[in-house]
Amino acid sequence: MKLSDLFTLLNRHERPSTILVFLSVALMSAIAGCTTLTTMTTAFQPLPTVASLVADAAGGNEGPPAIAGTPAGYIPAAFGSVHDTMPIPLETPVAVATLGPPLPAPTIVVAAQPVDFEAARATAQAQGLDIAFVKIGFHRGPSGNANGWGNYVRRLNDAGVPVFVKSVDNGGVIWEVQEIMMENEAEGRYVPHVLVYRSTDKGFEDIYYDLSLTPEEAAELSWQANRDALPKELDKKYFWLETLNEPGRDGFDGNLQIERLGRFSLATAKLAVAEGYKYAALAFSTGVPEVGDWPTASTTLVNPNDWEDPAMLEFLRYAGEHRDQVAVALHEYSLTIDCIAPPCVFPTPDPPHIPYPYLVGRLQALFDTADRHGIPRPTVLITEWGWEYGAVPEPEEALEDIAWASWLYAAYPEVLGAAIWYLGGPWCCDIDDQTQRLIEPLTNFAASHYYIIDPGIGRIDPFLFSPNPPTLLELNREDWATPFPRPRSMP
């Protein structure tokens, strides 16, 4: 993640808008092999605008009251609208596809280990439903502190839970999981681990930014360079290859480069598909690209939605038609360790938090665009995920945030996973040591939680997931071997 991008995002202008939100989380019956869940359903009142939150903060307001039915002091998130550019008129109407109502949010299930996930899936599918796993994994690098890594991978593999691994400049990490996947195949097992690899050689990205080349010419040279530099032990069947990292809306020449990115991504994707590889395109930074007035609706004026650039739509259509081999890579950070889906509970954040769903959860704008244009939702890989570029919350607080994000991503089967930044090094602030503390608790969490989902497609409604209800549930058992922290609360 680029430090310059963080400061740019943190200094954006805000255009507040009042949004009325009602959240209803319907928790269905627990599936076979699981014990009783703790559930709660709460109706929420309209939320304040960002402007009112800032005004209250300036006046010393301690924040909105706790929600009835949640642990004492639990403060919900609120949200507003953040835009970078002035509104511009639409030149042509946006194509609109007809979808049914939003699907219900996933039901969270916590069960005593070992969980029979196959039995749970069979039971869900018999009811027209399905299950989703915890999709949060880790980002590795060539060094760093990853103590406990082997146990994490082996234990979840034995449980039948996929791991999500992004690695840069370290093919060994990918190879280790690849070998486990081969062992599974030899035993007649299938655990769909998700592996992503990228080389950070600056010369490879420079090819894209060479404006003497057309996007298609740059794609061919970039693809050859990245493909030929792959560690020889890696089998293209098992991993996704990412070739860019956080391109901005504007290129180094200061001009908008969305069209170039769309054409480059489409050309690269076609090369990858032709050669039997799996390609992860774009890798946009958190808060990028522009998503128009989403999730509000404007009939006359909208901010630009970069996903609707004709070249980008052409790429998205190809990606949607080749979801097993072409994915959209995104990065999602909250840019604060205070919480994962701001605004958080703190009355006077400095700088102000950028609210949900404009950072973590922004991928829903991509799906909304695809839906409106009749494009199949593409596969999404969140190849960097977390809080800040150099900081991770304490494990108990981090796990509550991970639980909420896992619940959100479970709603979208197209999202294959997210990689917590960062177990690699050297990097700022001993981030690898901070992140390493999450390996064991995340292992326990992923092995004991899953989600019951409706596998259909409905209209995107990001407010189903906000304000944040407690999503880190506990078994109603006193003899549970591994204690899980309760939802975070404020004094």
Structure confidence at residue 64 (pLDDT)? 26
Q: Examine the pLDDT at 479 and tell me if it is beyond 50.
A: no
Question: Tokens standing for 299?
Answer: 């009939």
Structure confidence at residue 69 (pLDDT)? 27
The residue ranking higher by pLDDT, 486 or 343, is 343
Structure confidence at residue 25 (pLDDT)? 31
Of the ranges 66-70, 96-100, 399-403, 407-411, which one carries the lowest mean pLDDT score?
Answer: 66-70
Q: Examine the pLDDT at 352 and tell me if it is beyond 80.
A: yes
Structure confidence at residue 475 (pLDDT)? 57
Structure confidence at residue 220 (pLDDT)? 99
Q: Examine the pLDDT at 105 and tell me if it is beyond 50.
A: yes
Beta partners for residue 417, in sequence order: 381
Per-residue pLDDT band for 81 (boundaries 50, 70, 90) equals: very low
**Average pLDDT of every residue of the chain:** 81
Per-residue pLDDT band for 302 (boundaries 50, 70, 90) equals: low
Mean pLDDT of 29-36: 36
Q: Is 401 left (phi over 0), alpha (psi -120 to 50) or beta?
A: alpha
Q: Examine the pLDDT at 32 and tell me if it is beyond 80.
A: no
Structure confidence at residue 46 (pLDDT)? 34
Cα separation, 392 vs 431, whole angstroms: 7
Structure confidence at residue 27 (pLDDT)? 32
Q: What percentage of the chain has pLDDT greater than the value 70?
A: 74
Burial per residue of 233-261, b for 16 or more beta-carbon CB atoms within 10 angstroms, e otherwise: ebeeebbbbbbbbbbbbebeeeeebbebb
Q: Examine the pLDDT at 186 and tell me if it is beyond 70.
A: yes
Mean pLDDT of 257-275: 99
Per-residue pLDDT band for 63 (boundaries 50, 70, 90) equals: very low
Per-residue pLDDT band for 275 (boundaries 50, 70, 90) equals: very high
The residue ranking higher by pLDDT, 82 or 402, is 402
Of the ranges 49-63, 65-79, 161-175, 365-379, which one carries the lowest mean pLDDT score?
Answer: 65-79
Structure confidence at residue 65 (pLDDT)? 25
Per-residue pLDDT band for 296 (boundaries 50, 70, 90) equals: confident
Q: Examine the pLDDT at 463 and tell me if it is beyond 50.
A: yes
The residue ranking higher by pLDDT, 348 or 356, is 356
